[in-house]
Chain A
C-alpha cells in the first residue's frame, strides 16, 4: 500500500468508527478541498452513500461559486445537506465587510457562534430538499453531539496536537494537556452525557496528499483553486473579503501537485491568504479554542 492508500484506509476506519459509535453525528463541509475530500472519503466508507448529514455554515460572504458548487454536489450525490447562519449578526450588519467589527470578531460571530448554535439546534437549520431543489427550515432540530471535521495536522501549530477523536466538554473547552490516548485503532468513543466529540479523519494528511488524492480519485473540485488566467489562484477558500489569492500558474490539479512538489509554497503557510489568522500572534488558536474549526 502506498502513502495515499494508507491514509485513505485510516480515514475510512475512523469514519466508520464514528458512524458506529455516535448516534447524533454530523460532518462539517466548508466546500473547500479538504472537507470535500472528507466527503468523498465518506462515500468510500459507506460504499457510495453518505448516511449522515453535512453541515455548512454560511457566512453569506462566501465566494459565490462555492455555494453553486455546494448545491450541485448535494443534488448529484444525494446529500443530506444542512446549512446554518448567524442571522442576527448579518441582519444587524455586525460584520467586517460592513465595517462594524474587526476580522477576528467577524469570524467569531459568523462562523464560531453560528456553528455552535447551529450544532446545538438553538438556531434554525435549513436542509436541502431534493424534490424542491431548495432549502427548507428543519422542523425540530436536535443537537449534534459528534462533529466530523476535516482539519489537518500540517496546517497550523494548534492543529498538530489534535486527536482523531477529540472530546469537548460542556463549555466546548478543549483540554490540550489531558487528551485521551489513541492506539491500535482504538479511540475514545465513550462519552459522559453532555459532552461531545470532534472527529478528525484527515489529521495525518498534508496539502500535497489532498491534491494527489483529488487527482487519483478524480474528485470534482472548485476551479477557484486554479489559475484564473491572471496568474493567481486560491490555495485556501473562505469569505471573499478576507481571502487572498496566491501567485501561481497552476491551471489544473496536476499542475498544482507539480507546484507543491517543487516546494514553491513549502515556506509559506497554506492559510497565508486568510487574513483573520494574522490579527494577533495566535489568531487561529484563539478562534479554535472558541469553537472555530
Chain B
C-alpha cells in the first residue's frame, strides 16, 4: 500500500493532538478498546475526555500535558497509509518539531480560530518552507469557539496567506474545522455551508509524493569506501546514497573537491540481479575503473552535468537550536552530505524575527531559535549546490559540542578564501616575541637557512626512510636538521584529540604551528604525512609563514593544485633520492653548495 509521511505543526494548544486523535479514531486506526480505555481513565480521574489523550503513549508526557516529541502514529484512508508525525508546538521543543517536519512530504498547520495567528504559527510556517516542504494545508481549528464565523476564518486566511507569501509559500488549502467536534475532518458538516472546499482527510489524499529527483544532476556523497577481503572479495566499493540524478555503468565521474576522474565500472548491490543504472534515493555502491586515492566525504558527480560549487566560503540561511549561541571565533563541525569539516562563523548578515518578519542586522551572534543569514568559512573546501538549485546537496547541519545545533540551506557560494586562518597568522605574527638573534644571524652562525621539508604520499611508500636518512645526512654535514615522526606528535601534543574526521585537521594545525616554531629556531624541519590534500598543504603553508615549506611527494599523489617540489616513486633508491633533495636544497639556497 502507498504510504505518506505528514507532519502536524502549529502553536502550542492550538489542537494538533486533537486533530491526530480524531484522525486515528475516525479512520478506525486505533487498537480495539483503546478509545474506551482512555475514556474510562478520564472518568476515573474526573477529567473530561479529549482526543488528544489518545496520543499520550508515555507517562511523563501525560504529566506534563504537552507533546514533547515528534511521535509517529499510523492511520489509513482508502487511498493510502499515513504516518502522522505530531510535532510539538512548545518553543522549547522546536528541534523536535524540525525532526518531525523534516521527515514529512506534506504538512498540516493548525491555527486556533479563537486565538488566531501566534508566534509559532509563523515560525513553523517559515521553517516548513526552509525544510523544503511544499505541500501545506492550514487547518483553522476550534471554529466552534467562534460560532463557525466565516468572517473570522477569512480574516485568518488573509493574514496568514499574506505572511506565507512573504517567503513564497502558497498553501494548498485553508480549511475551517473543529477537530473536537469532528467538523470538516472526515465528513463535511452543516455548520459551515459557506465552505465548499475539501475536508481534512480529502485534502490529505490530494497530496502528491515528491516528484523523483532523478531528473536533476547526479550527486553521490561518498559515505564510505569498503574493502572487505573475507571470502576472497577483492572489490573496492564506494558506498553511499544517491541524493539526486542517475548514472549508468561506464559513465565518467568526477570527485569533488579532489577533482579526480574515472569511470563507473559496476553498480554494486547485494542479492539483486546485476543492474546498469543507479538513481536518486538508492543506497548503493560503485566500483570504478581506476582505483583512485579518494576519501569518504567527497561528492561524486557526473562529467557533463552542471558542477557543484567547491569552496570554503558560503552564505546560508540558518536555524539555530543550540543551547549556546552561534558565535565568531569558535570552531564548529559542518556536516554536509558525507563531508565533515570544521567551520567558523565569519559574519551575521541579518537575524530574522520569524514572528514579526523583521530583520535585525546589528546582531553579532545567533541565539537559540533564531533564523539568521550568515557567512561561513570552512577549514577545507567542500562541494555543494545552492539550495535553490539542488536542495539535497545545498543543506547542512552544524555540530556544536557533540550536538546538532544548527541547520541551514546554502544561498550562495563565495570565492574560496582562508581569511580566518590568515587573520589568525597575522595576529600571531603581530604579537610574536622575537629573540635577540634574528634569522640572518642564525643562518650565518648555523651555515644554512631554515626550512620545512614535508614528505607526503600514501602510507607504506618509504617516506619515513627518506626522511630519516635525510636528517642523518644533513646532521653528518654539520647542519641543524630535525626529523619529527608524526606519531610522536599525535601521541604527545595531540593525545587529547577527538577521534574521527576532525582529528586530522587538528593534527595538520598543530604541525603547521610546530613548523613555524622549529623553523624560527633556524633548523631544517623534516616530517612525513599520509593522506594530505591541497587544503592541508595550504593550511601548513599559511601557518608556517613567514618561513618556507617544501613539499616532496612519494608515489601516487593526492594533490591537485599543489605541485610538489620533487616527486619520487614508491620505495625509491634512498641514496639517489637524498642526492636529488640535496641538489635541490642547494638550488633553493637553503644549504650551501
Could you list which residues of chain A lie within 8 angstroms of chain B, going by C-beta atoms?
1, 3, 5-6, 8-10, 12-13, 16-17, 19-21, 23, 43-49, 51, 78, 153-154, 156-158, 160-161, 163, 176-177, 179-188, 190-192, 204, 206, 217, 266-269, 282, 285
Contacts and interface: CB of A to CB of B under 8 A. Distances in A.
Contact of A160 (B59, B72, B223, B233): B72
Given A44-B269, A182-B99, A183-B99, A49 B230 contact: yes
B224 A43 contact: no
9 contacts: A49-B228, A157-B58, A161-B69, A176-B61, A177-B69, A184-B102, A268-B31, A268-B32, A285-B58
B237 A267 contact: no
Interface stretch (B171-179, B181-189, B397-405, B503-511): B397-405
A131 B1 CA distance: 45
A17 B102 CA distance: 18
Contacts of A179: 69, 96, 99
A18 B566 CA distance: 40
Interface in B400-447: 402-404, 407
A169 to B, nearest CB: 12
A154 B60 contact: no
Given A45-B283, A78-B230, A181-B96, A190 B399 contact: yes
B58 A6 contact: no
Given A1-B282, A16-B224, A190-B333, A49 B32 contact: no
Q: Please classify the interface of chain B as helix (H, G, I), strand (E, B), loop, or mixed, using the class held by over half of its residues.
A: mixed
Contacts of B95: 180-181
A13 B281 contact: no
B131 interface: yes
B68 interface: yes
Q: 9 closest pairs, A vs B, by CB?
A: A157-B57, A183-B102, A12-B283, A267-B32, A9-B283, A181-B95, A49-B228, A190-B402, A186-B397
Contacts of B211: none
Given A48-B233, A183-B397, A285-B58, A176 B69 contact: yes
Contacts of B71: 160-161
B239 A181 contact: no
B245 to A, nearest CB: 14
A47 B296 contact: no
Interface string B439-474: 000000000000000000000000000000000000
B281 A1 contact: yes
B69 A181 contact: no
Contacts of B392: 184
A160 B282 CA distance: 25
A176 B68 contact: yes
Nearest to B336: A186
Given A49-B228, A267-B32, A268-B31, A3 B2 contact: yes
B329 interface: no
Contact of B402 (A154, A192, A206): A192
B407 A177 contact: no
A9 B103 CA distance: 14
B398 to A, nearest CB: 10
B226 interface: yes
Contacts of B230: 49, 78
A46 B228 contact: yes
Contacts of A191: 402
Contacts of B281: 1, 5-6, 9
Interface in B377-413: 392, 395-397, 399, 402-404, 407
B403 A9 contact: no
Nearest to A8: B283
B235 interface: yes
Contacts of A49: 226, 228, 230-231, 233
Contacts of A181: 95-96, 98-99, 102, 321, 397, 404, 407
A176 B88 CA distance: 13
B269 A13 contact: no
B296 A20 contact: yes
B407 A47 contact: no
Interface string B61-99: 100000011111110000000010000000001011011
Contacts of A184: 102, 392, 395-397, 407
A13 B3 CA distance: 20
Contacts of B96: 179, 181
B240 interface: yes
Contact of A183 (B68, B131, B500): B131
Contacts of B231: 48-49, 78
A253 to B, nearest CB: 16
Contact of B283 (A13, A182, A267, A269): A13
Most chain B beta carbons < 10 A, residue from A13, A163, A180: A180
Most chain B beta carbons < 10 A, residue from A153, A179, A185: A185
B335 interface: yes
B57 A47 contact: no
Contacts of B282: 1, 5, 9
B270 interface: yes
Contacts of B268: 47
A217 B271 contact: yes
Contacts of B29: 266
Nearest to A267: B32
Nearest to B394: A184
Contacts of A268: 31-32
Given A23-B499, A282-B59, A183 B98 contact: yes
B243 to A, nearest CB: 8
Contacts of A187: 404
A181 B69 CA distance: 10
Most chain B beta carbons < 10 A, residue from A12, A191, A217: A12
